[in-house]
Amino acid sequence: MKPPKHRNTYPVNKNNRAGNKWIPGKSETSMEMPIVSLMPKIIDPVEEEPEMPYINKKARGHYDEHINALCKELHESEWNPGHINYIFSKIFKRMWILRPGYTTINDVKGILSCVGVEFDRRNSTPYEKKKIEENGDI
Break the chain into its structural domains and give their ranges: 1-39, 57-135
- For 104-137, the pLDDT digits (tens) are 999 999 999 999 999 999 999 999 999 999 999 9
Question: 22 with 31: CB under 8 angstroms?
Answer: yes
Question: How much is the pTM?
Answer: 0.57
Angle between helices 81-98 and 102-119 (to 10 degrees): 150
For position 19, what pLDDT does the model report?
43
Q: Which residue did the predictor score with more confidence, 49 or 77?
A: 77
Reference 107, options 120, 96, 118; nearest CA is: 96
6 pLDDT band, cuts 50/70/90, is very low
Q: Which residues contact 16 (CB under 8 A, 6 or more apart)?
A: 25, 26, 27, 28
Question: 46 with 126: CB under 8 angstroms?
Answer: yes
15 pLDDT band, cuts 50/70/90, is very low
Q: What percent of the chain is predicted at pLDDT more than 90?
A: 54
For position 54, what pLDDT does the model report?
76
Query: Does the pLDDT at position 56 exceed 70?
Result: yes
For position 96, what pLDDT does the model report?
97
